[in-house]
């Protein structure tokens, strides 16, 4: 019922020229695939190049962030209207690096999530605990607060248009992956929380795992019932490794 979603987050890597070359290599490796949603979230500066390069391919475009205002005097920011004009259909909201380095909070996540939906952008809302929180057995309460606050302004019919990415902070870019069983437990917990807010819509919400996903561990992660896909950082930068993740065979 839930189509697998494999999303690449290029973070602050890839010039427009490098982006073009990566996509030229990636498309032939995955274009035969059915039953997958493949999303690439490059830096803003590569959106224009990629929006042309993905035409006619199964790849969809996403941004890594946005400012939740239509337009205005906000130097350095990018609006959902601008993303929409570049054929973006997804936007990552509240990535842990944004929370850690740029002061994003659950309330900015809530504001951005609602605004993204108003522009028909699918928000990929990131949640996850730090190592400290995990060691103090605070994983579930931390994630519950992030979800309740992050989705607070949404009303019935909007929840199923959201993707949630469970990204334990200690697993991002560290080479440490949550075990498939641990990731499944947290993703199932996330679905329970979403169900307590949104009822049956929770069954339609794709829940992704993120944190050092690689070609070697994707198959086992994808075999878990509540893991519907992956948000992939480092391993999405190379066409060959991202293609293997997308195929997860």
Binding positions are 9-11, 173, 212, 233-234
Q: CA 81, CA 196: separation in Å to the nearest integer?
A: 32
Which is the catalytic residue, given 95, 104, 111, 201?
95
| Beta carbon nearer to ligand PEP, 183 or 198 | 183
Closest separation between CB of residue 127 and ligand PEP, Å? 12
95 is catalytic: yes
Closest separation between CB of residue 61 and ligand PEP, Å? 17
Our finding on whether 65 is near ligand PEP (CB under 6 A) is no
Q: CA 245, CA 222: separation in Å to the nearest integer?
A: 10
Size of the site for ligand PEP (CB under 6 A): 14
| Beta carbon nearer to ligand PEP, 123 or 210 | 210
CA 199 and chain centroid, separation: 22
Helix residue ranges, H only, 40-179: 47-53, 80-85, 96-102, 106-118, 131-135, 139-150
Instruction: Please give the residues from 177 up to 236 whose contact with ligand PEP meets the rule CB under 6 A.
Output: 210-213, 231-235
Instruction: Please give the residues from 1 up to 40 whose contact with ligand PEP meets the rule CB under 6 A.
Output: 9, 11
Q: Which residues contact 54 (CB under 8 A, 6 or more apart)?
A: 23, 27, 40, 60, 61, 87
Q: Which residues contact 31 (CB under 8 A, 6 or more apart)?
A: 57, 58
Other CB atoms within 10 Å distance of the CB of residue 247: 16
220 is catalytic: no
| Beta carbon nearer to ligand PEP, 121 or 198 | 121
Closest separation between CB of residue 190 and ligand PEP, Å? 16
What distance, in Å, lies between the first and last C-alpha atoms of the chain? 19
Closest separation between CB of residue 176 and ligand PEP, Å? 9
Catalytic positions, please?
Answer: 95, 167
Residues that bind ligand PEP (CB under 6 A): 9, 11, 167, 172-173, 210-213, 231-235
């Amino acid at each position: 019922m839930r189509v697998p979603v494999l999303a690449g987050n290029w973070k602050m890597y890839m010039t427009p020229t490098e982006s073009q070359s990566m996509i030229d290599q990636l498309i032939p490796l995955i274009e035969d695939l059915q039953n997958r949603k493949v999303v690439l979230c490059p830096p803003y500066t590569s959106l224009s190049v990629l929006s042309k390069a993905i035409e006619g391919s199964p790849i969809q475009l996403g941004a890594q962030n946005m400012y939740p205002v239509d337009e205005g005097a906000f130097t350095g920011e990018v609006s959902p209207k601008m993303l929409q004009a570049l054929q973006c259909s997804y936007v990552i909201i509240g990535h842990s690096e944004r929370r850690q380095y740029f002061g994003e909070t659950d309330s900015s996540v809530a504001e951005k999530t609602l605004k993204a939906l108003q522009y028909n952008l699918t928000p990929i809302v990131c949640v996850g605990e730090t190592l400290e929180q995990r060691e103090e057995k605070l994983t579930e309460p931390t994630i519950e607060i992030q979800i309740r606050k992050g989705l607070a302004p949404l009303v019935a019919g909007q929840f199923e248009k959201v993707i949630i990415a469970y990204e334990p902070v200690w697993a991002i870019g560290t080479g440490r992956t949550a075990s498939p069983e641990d990731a499944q437990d947290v993703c199932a917990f996330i679905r329970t929380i979403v169900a307590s807010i949104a009822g049956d819509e929770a069954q339609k919400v794709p829940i992704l795992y993120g944190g050092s996903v690689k070609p070697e561990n994707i198959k086992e992660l994808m075999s878990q019932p509540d893991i519907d896909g992956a948000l992939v950082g480092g391993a999405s930068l190379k066409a060959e490794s991202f293609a293997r993740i997308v195929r997860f065979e």
